[in-house]
Amino acid sequence: MVELLNSNANDIEKKSDLFSDNDGSNWFEEEIDVDLKWSFALNGMLHRGKSEYQDIALLDTKRFGKVLVIDGKMQSAEMDEFIYHECLIHPPLLCHPNPRTVFIMGGGEGSAAREALRHKTIENVIMCDIDQEVVDFCRRHLTANYDAFRNKKLNLVINDAKAELEKKGEKYDVIVGDLADPVEGGPCYQLYTKSFYQNVVKPKLNHHGIFVTQAGPAGVFTHTEVFSSIYNTIKHVFNHVIAFTAHVPSFADTWGWVMASDEPLCIDSAKLDARIAERVEGELLYLNGSSFYSSTILNKTVANTLKNETHVYTEENARFIPGHGLLDFKN
């Protein structure tokens, strides 16, 4: 639950995602699970709003800079979002022999598109997000992505990603799942299912095509929530599947991604470094060949779980991330 704790009142009043401590400092608090919360000291709230689908807030935090919060869950932080987005975008584009077209499911904040557009071979990036207001909000307020939103190679589509892929005749070199976590009652969990991967995503990939998706928390204590299931589900659809992880400080956890193709995936560090030098504009802040290769070597606990996982994600047998909460913007 997301609360406002008013230090001047006798009772705790549930009012918003902010609370004040005894010295008057403002904090944002997110419930990760029923017995675990994650708090950020704030300089202030920069913007807040509500779309047809979601509650949206942009907070100015003392530790992580601007933080985008949707439905009470932090989506990305200015100081370390490059870790998440470099890991999401560059491995599939670097593993592909000559990527020209990219379809991003979700990605409304524009950071995934920003990273894809850094590749010199890219001719067309389709970013398909269901929420026009989130896209407009991020285009106005996230200054790091101004250039990406103005890039002529970016084609922005407001639609459900599944519906958009189904109605289009085009195929793509890389399809990216930059989706919200699967939460109970949320709009995205159907896009983590075997039927979606098999019947919608895979037929829309060109030869040598690669699919990648964010796959939720992947820490020692959290990887069984959805990460292992998403990995196992994708293994039932594609011939070659790689799971990899990285620590994202603002998420207070290790995060997971899954990359898949019907063709072998090259993760040789020297070859990846050569492709980074040849293809990518500017310097990557987090990823190089060695760090990506090392990210595919999972600790014993997580590796054993992935090896032995039997759950296949379906609409009827879904797993969900715990601890989500809606923002309540009352004053």
Among all residues, which ones are annotated catalytic?
178
Which element (helix H / strand E) includes 60? strand 55-61
User: Residue 271 and residue 178: Cα distance in Å, rounded?
Assistant: 26
User: Residue 191 and residue 164: Cα distance in Å, rounded?
Assistant: 13
Give the other-Cβ count within 10 Å of 266's Cβ. 12
Report the amino acid identity of residue 162: K
The full DSSP string for 257-288 is EEEEESS-----HHHHHHHHHHHBSS--SS--
Q: Three-state DSSP class for 41?
A: strand
73-77 β-sheet, strand order: 18-20, 26-33, 36-50, 55-61, 65-70, 73-77
Structure-token match 């050569």, residue found: 274
Which element (helix H / strand E) includes 235? helix 227-235
Give the other-Cβ count within 10 Å of 230's Cβ. 28
